[in-house]
Amino acid sequence: MKYIYTIIVLFFSTALFAQSDDNILTLQDAVEMAIEKNISIKNSELNLLNSELGKSDAIGDFLPRVSASANHQWNMVEVLILLLML
């Protein structure tokens, strides 16, 4: 029985120390913490960034596209024939 009383006293004494005045939140702190940890707000921010990227892609689709290419090929058979004819 003596051990049970000791355990109970230790449990309640640690519970009292856990509720110290260091962890008191003001209303502003609680609101800031809620905004920071709210998943739907984070999703909304990501959706906003995604829509901004989509807007820049849409603007880019209206711009003209310019492309260029060049090709050069030697036909070695004709060169060999010309060399053999000389």
- What residue type is assigned to position 13 of the chain? S
44 in a domain, yes or no?
Answer: yes
pLDDT in tens, 21-53: 567 788 998 888 888 889 998 899 999 999 999
- CB neighbour list of residue 25: distance below 8 Å, 6 or more residues apart: 33
Q: Distance between CA 18 and CA 25 in Å, rounded?
A: 15
78 in a domain, yes or no?
Answer: no
50 in a domain, yes or no?
Answer: yes
- Evaluated on CA atoms 12, 14, 15, 19, the torsion sign reads positive
Total domains in the chain come to 1
Domain that holds residue 39: 25-64
CA-to-CA separations, 55 to 16, 43, 45, 51, in angstroms, rounded: 56, 18, 15, 6
pTM above 0.85, yes or no: no
